[in-house]
Amino acid sequence: MSIWIYSTEYKTPIPENALQSLIAGLPPEISAKARRFRRWQDAHGCLLGKLLLTTALKVGGWPADLRHLQYTDYGRPFLSGGPDFNISHSGHRVVCILATEGGVGIDLEEIKDLNIEDFKGQFSADEWATITGAPHPLKAFYHFWTAKECLSKADGRGLNLPLAGLRIEENRIISLGSRHWRLQALPLSAGYACHIAAESPMDHLALKELSLRDLADQSAANYFH
Q: HSE of 133 in the Cβ direction (CA atoms, 13 Å)?
A: 6
- Integer CA distances (angstroms), 109 to 65, 180, 189, 196, in order: 28, 24, 10, 12
pLDDT, position 225: 45
Is the pLDDT assigned to residue 29 strictly greater than 90?
no
Cβ contact 21:216 at 8 Å: yes
pLDDT one-digit tens code per residue, 57-98: 999 999 988 988 999 998 899 999 899 999 999 999 999 999
Is the pLDDT assigned to residue 204 strictly greater than 80?
yes
**CA angle 177-183-187, nearest 5°?**
155
Instruction: Name the residue type at position 131.
Output: I
Measured CA to CA, the distance from residue 164 to residue 176 in angstroms comes to: 13
pLDDT one-digit tens code per residue, 89-123: 999 999 999 999 999 999 999 999 999 999 999 99
- Which residue has better confidence, 41 or 203? 41
pLDDT, position 223: 45
The whole-number average pLDDT for the span 185-194 is 92
**Domain extent listing, the chain:** 1-102+200-225, 111-179
Is the pLDDT assigned to residue 34 strictly greater than 90?
no
Predicted confidence band of residue 23 (pLDDT cuts 50, 70, 90): confident
Multiple choice CATH, 1-102+200-225, 3.20.20.70, 3.40.50.1820, 3.90.470.20, 2.60.40.10: 3.90.470.20
- Which residue has better confidence, 155 or 25? 155
Measured CA to CA, the distance from residue 80 to residue 223 in angstroms comes to: 33
Residue 208: CB partners within 8 Å, gap ≥ 6? 4, 5, 6, 7
β-pairing, 93-99 with 84-90?
antiparallel
Indicate the helix (H) or strand (E) that contains 139.
helix 137-155
The whole-number average pLDDT for the span 125-147 is 95
pLDDT, position 221: 52
How does DSSP assign 158-219, residue by residue? Answer: GGGS-GGG----TTSPEEETTEEEEEEE---STTEEEEEEESS--SEEEEEE--HHHHHHHT
Is the pLDDT assigned to residue 172 strictly greater than 80?
no
pLDDT, position 222: 47
Q: Give CB contacts under 8 A, 24+ apart, made by 158-162.
A: 158/74, 158/75, 158/76, 160/74
- Which residue has better confidence, 136 or 161? 136
β-pairing, 2-9 with 204-209?
parallel
